[in-house]
Amino acid sequence: MPELPELLLRREAWSRLIMGNHALVRAMVESGVRVVTTYPGSPTPEIAAALTTIPADQRPYYFEYSTNEKVATEVAVGASLNGHLSTVFFKSVGLNVAADTLIQLSMMEMIGGLVIILGDDPGANSSQNEQDNRHFARMSYIPMLEPGTPREAYEMFCQAAELSRRYRSPVFLRLTTHVCHAKEVVTFGPSAPREPDWTPRFAAENGPYVPIAQTVFPLKRSALAQLEEFAREFAAAAFCAEFAPDGCQAIGGRRLGVIATGLPAMAVRENLVEAGQAVDLLKLGGTYPLPVERILAFLNAHDEVLLVEELDRVLETEIKALAWDRGVGCRLHARVDREDLMGELAPPRTWKLLGDAWPELFPAQAGPLGDVPDEADVANVAPRLPQLCPGCGHRSAFHAVRQAITDDTITVADIGCHSMGFMPPYNMGQVLLCMGHSTATASGLAIGNRQRKVIAFIGDSTLFHAGLPGLVNAAMQKHNIVLVLLENGTTAMTGHQPRPGSGEVGERIVLPEMLSALGVEFIRDGDAYNQAQLIANLKEAMEYPGFAVVIARHPCMLKFTREQRVKRADFHMPQVQVDQAVCEQLRTCVAEFACPSFVAHADGTVTVHGDLCIGDGSCMQTCSVGAIRRPPAQSGRGKR
């Protein structure tokens, strides 16, 4: 995108229609962030994409894709301890990986400042759960800000950076998918030219930085005292705002209000404007620690207050406890429907919550446009399963694995593009927990199991992220499982970020050599497109009495074709066709190989969709009668 370098390099103030993730990047530059680390994961990858649009030698900051979220956090922490304002960002479940390090940080003097950006995912748009990371703020005693728009994301990052430096404390900035990807006109401030100052400022005297029994309690007392300071900051900040359209007027003798935060607060405000009702809104920008006195004042000024938040009952529980402890007489309304504890709260859903509390003011039939469709509407929408890309090596690998295993084989999935092997027709991967779990989980499934073979899958990027400990354990314990290592040379699912050992950053790691050095004795390596060889490798591995690894490698074809078109304007791989004179309509290509390029017609014929086929030819070997072929005039073109 042509405007992204401008985010990093433009000096003067200016305005731009921009997405939340990109607004954060400008905030980093204006705040003087010196070190940025990440492990890619939706909804945050666009932050890294913007940060890397200019060459490394032109950046006023150091940026790295770290091996995983824990490492990314530790690198950012080290930089902050050395006096450099730092930022680490990742998706919701990435915080689980970083948690072991994170929990200590509120007790440390982050002399340079540290902002931790979380991309939470209500609605599980791109995650295996709806994890509510507000709990982590409370567990770690780290203050949390929650923007509801791209403009607030920009402004709150700048405030988080200032607070973090001033209090020498980490600060959470929690965004949700909607805020990360929404667009808004944002007015940016000027960016004064700064030469990076890499003078090391680490001093043990700023600590202690070693939390042991002797030091933990003084450090924890300090962290708790500091939270009281943050609560006062949050209460006075502009992002803690009240919207009272008619000055706290009574409706039918009752003064009504809503307390909300982030995207739900914006949705509620839209509802109130649409309904024209004199219901007041207290929008919290800082949600931990809570601005207690501000909330008490709002509760005491109203007879009834509705509490609106996405996912868990975090604010509801704390505000109810506060009201009880302080003897507040205000009636509190909260979500009563179990379904309201799931998914994003857009205006149609917040209208429903308002209607549950005050049906005479927010009748269901008068809800906002774009209301949630009813079951009849949903039934008329054709289902569309997620798809592996045309030419994906994982598809070829799954097709081969399906032919090598028996029906009672236990298959264990992992996180990555290959997770979609769970979908029909591959039905591959009956267990999925988190990144890197597959080898260890499969090992447990194999203990004492003499009847059913266990096969695990893992991608090369996931292996380096969190899969190595389980792999080393399986090799050491000689667990009787087969690990299919799907190597495509990149972090494909989140946008082709470099994976460790790919050679894009640092030295290339040759996987068979690494596996051998880690103690794996059975290793077979082959191209995922060579299905006959892959089937043979799998069958041999399944007979091996111990830990066996079968590498099925093929470059991510989406990345490969994009790179080739950059290198060669005339790059072309000839598409395949179905020879109708030879085709016996067995439909293996559609029903079992299932490349989306194949189109099945009502008359039984199968054709190739010209807009989808990339010409990789991996499908040709799947047709037992040889009906899938390239036109003779094109044979030999576009060789890789």
Rounded-to-integer distance, Cα 265 and Cα 179, Å: 12
Terminus-to-terminus CA distance in the chain, angstroms? 29
Count other C-beta atoms under 10 Å from residue 20's C-beta.
Answer: 30
Q: What percent of the chain has pLDDT over 70?
A: 95
User: What is 393-561's CATH number, 3.20.20.480, 3.40.50.970, 1.10.3720.10, 3.30.9.30?
Assistant: 3.40.50.970
With the C-alpha atoms ordered 82, 83, 86, 88, is the resulting torsion angle positive or negative? positive
Q: Which whole number is the average pLDDT over 449-467?
A: 91
Nearest alpha-carbon partner for 394 in 534, 510, 520? 534
Q: Which whole number is the average pLDDT over 544-560?
A: 91
Nearest alpha-carbon partner for 264 in 132, 155, 158? 132
**Does residue 609 have a pLDDT over 60?**
yes
Structural contact between residues 161 and 113, judged by C-beta atoms closer than 8 angstroms: yes
Nearest alpha-carbon partner for 86 in 112, 56, 109? 112
Q: Residue 245: exposed, middle, or buried by beta-carbon count in 10 A (0-12, 13-18, 19+)? A: middle
Q: What is the pLDDT of residue 79?
A: 93
Q: Pseudo-torsion of CA 334, 335, 336, 340, nearest 10°?
A: 180
**Does residue 306 have a pLDDT over 60?**
yes
Structural contact between residues 454 and 445, judged by C-beta atoms closer than 8 angstroms: yes
Rounded-to-integer distance, Cα 31 and Cα 86, Å: 10
Token pair in block for residue 124 = 């599980």
Rounded-to-integer distance, Cα 309 and Cα 262, Å: 8
Q: What is the pLDDT of residue 56?
A: 86
Least confident of 83-87, 231-235, 555-559: 555-559
Structural contact between residues 3 and 29, judged by C-beta atoms closer than 8 angstroms: no
Nearest alpha-carbon partner for 414 in 467, 362, 364? 467
Rounded-to-integer distance, Cα 241 and Cα 155, Å: 14
- Cα 346 versus chain centre, distance: 20
What pLDDT, in 10s, does the model give residues 519-529?
A: 999 999 999 99
Rounded-to-integer distance, Cα 316 and Cα 134, Å: 13
Rounded-to-integer distance, Cα 617 and Cα 634, Å: 12
Plot region of 487 (φ>0 → left; ψ -120 to 50 → alpha; else → beta): beta
Q: Residue 202: exposed, middle, or buried by beta-carbon count in 10 A (0-12, 13-18, 19+)? A: middle
Q: What is the pLDDT of residue 381?
A: 58
Q: Residue ranges per domain, the chain?
A: 4-236, 241-372, 393-561, 572-634
**Does residue 195 have a pLDDT over 80?**
no
User: Helix 314-325 to helix 292-300 angle, to the nearest 10 degrees?
Assistant: 70
CA distances from 428 to 393, 431, 598 (A): 15, 9, 21
Count other C-beta atoms under 10 Å from residue 3's C-beta.
Answer: 13
Q: Would the CATH topology of 241-372 be identical to that of 393-561? A: yes
Plot region of 571 (φ>0 → left; ψ -120 to 50 → alpha; else → beta): beta
pLDDT band at 186 (very low <50, low <70, confident <90, very high): very high
- Cα 127 versus chain centre, distance: 6
* Residue 469, φ and ψ in degrees, nearest 5: -60, -45
Rounded-to-integer distance, Cα 149 and Cα 136, Å: 22
Q: What is the pLDDT of residue 635?
A: 46
Plot region of 486 (φ>0 → left; ψ -120 to 50 → alpha; else → beta): beta
Rounded-to-integer distance, Cα 385 and Cα 541, Å: 31
Q: What is the pLDDT of residue 490?
A: 79
Least confident of 132-136, 163-167, 366-370, 483-487: 366-370
Rounded-to-integer distance, Cα 431 and Cα 255, Å: 51
Beta-bridge partner residues of 550: 484, 524
Q: Residue 124: exposed, middle, or buried by beta-carbon count in 10 A (0-12, 13-18, 19+)? A: middle
User: In this structure, are strands 254-261 and 250-251 parallel, antiparallel, or unpaired?
Assistant: antiparallel
Q: Which whole number is the average pLDDT over 147-165?
A: 96
**Does residue 283 have a pLDDT over 60?**
yes
Q: Residue 537: exposed, middle, or buried by beta-carbon count in 10 A (0-12, 13-18, 19+)? A: buried
Q: What is the DSSP letter of 423?
A: S
Number of residues assigned to the chain = 640
Structural contact between residues 465 and 414, judged by C-beta atoms closer than 8 angstroms: no
Token pair in block for residue 121 = 């995912």
pLDDT band at 248 (very low <50, low <70, confident <90, very high): low
Residue with tokens 């859903």: 349
Least confident of 61-70, 358-367, 548-557: 358-367
**Does residue 623 have a pLDDT over 50?**
yes
Q: What is the pLDDT of residue 441?
A: 93
Task: Tell me the pLDDT of the chain averaged across its residues.
Answer: 88
Q: What percent of the chain has pLDDT over 90?
A: 55
Rounded-to-integer distance, Cα 527 and Cα 509, Å: 17
Contacts of 460 (CB under 8 A, 6+ apart): 485, 486, 487, 488, 489, 499, 501, 502, 511
Q: Supply the CATH classification number for the domain 241-372.
A: 3.40.50.920
Least confident of 30-44, 368-382, 410-424, 432-446: 368-382
Q: What is the pLDDT of residue 445?
A: 92
Nearest alpha-carbon partner for 486 in 434, 431, 420, 539? 420
Q: What is the DSSP letter of 415?
A: S
Q: Is 254 helix (H, G, I), strand (E, B) or coil?
A: strand
User: What is 572-634's CATH number, 3.40.50.720, 3.40.250.10, 3.30.70.20, 2.70.170.10?
Assistant: 3.30.70.20
Q: What is the DSSP letter of 419?
A: G
Rounded-to-integer distance, Cα 52 and Cα 466, Å: 25
What pLDDT, in 10s, does the model give residues 94-117?
A: 899 999 999 999 999 999 999 999
**4-236 belongs to which CATH class?**
alpha beta
Rounded-to-integer distance, Cα 484 and Cα 534, Å: 10
Rounded-to-integer distance, Cα 457 and Cα 414, Å: 6
Structural contact between residues 211 and 223, judged by C-beta atoms closer than 8 angstroms: no
Q: What is the pLDDT of residue 209?
A: 86
**Largest CA-CA distance found in the chain, in angstroms, rounded:** 85
Structural contact between residues 5 and 132, judged by C-beta atoms closer than 8 angstroms: no
Least confident of 23-32, 47-56, 197-206, 208-217: 208-217
Q: What is the pLDDT of residue 369?
A: 55
DSSP string, 538-554: HHHHHHSSS-EEEEEE-
